[in-house]
Homo-oligomer: A and B are copies of this chain.
Amino acid sequence: MDDTQTTVAELIRLVDDFVAERQWEPFHDPKNLSMAMAIEAGELMEHFQWLRSDELGLVKEDERKMAQIREELADIAAYLLSFASTMGIDVSSALKHKMKKNALKYPADKFRGRFQ
């Protein structure tokens, strides 16, 4: 069951069940979960921290590194989904809403290939 066949709600249930089975809900408050995302993003950054822009392509060919990177990304995703669940946020709606706002802020014809 890969990304083409898995809904966001199914992933949220996976994380929620894990938390519920351990009765970890008291720890999963929004402050702690936002910290958890930042901490895991930090661990993900570690894999690229000292690489120059032109060296980044090599990472993808290093399967040992990629396995670690997948795990770090999964950690961020898990906390993100737990945060959404705790706060009653629908991730898909929030993302669609934000991307529409971004599209107004950055019209494609004006920002092609640049940010400013």
Where the two chains meet, the residues of A that have a C-beta atom closer than 8 Å to any C-beta of B are 1-12, 14-15, 18, 21-24, 26-27, 29-32, 34-39, 41-54, 56, 59-60, 66, 69-71, 73-78, 80, 83-84, 87-99, 101-103, 106, 108, 111-113, 115
> In this complex, what residue of B is CB-closest to A15?
B99
B49-A35 in contact (CB<8A): yes
Cβ 8 A contact of A87, one of B31, B49, B69: B69
Given contacts A70-B97, A71-B94, contact A11 B14 (CB under 8 A): no
Complex Cα spacing A112 to B27, Å: 12
Residues of B with C-beta under 8 A to A77: 80, 91, 94-95
Residues of B with C-beta under 8 A to A31: 45, 48-49, 51, 53, 56
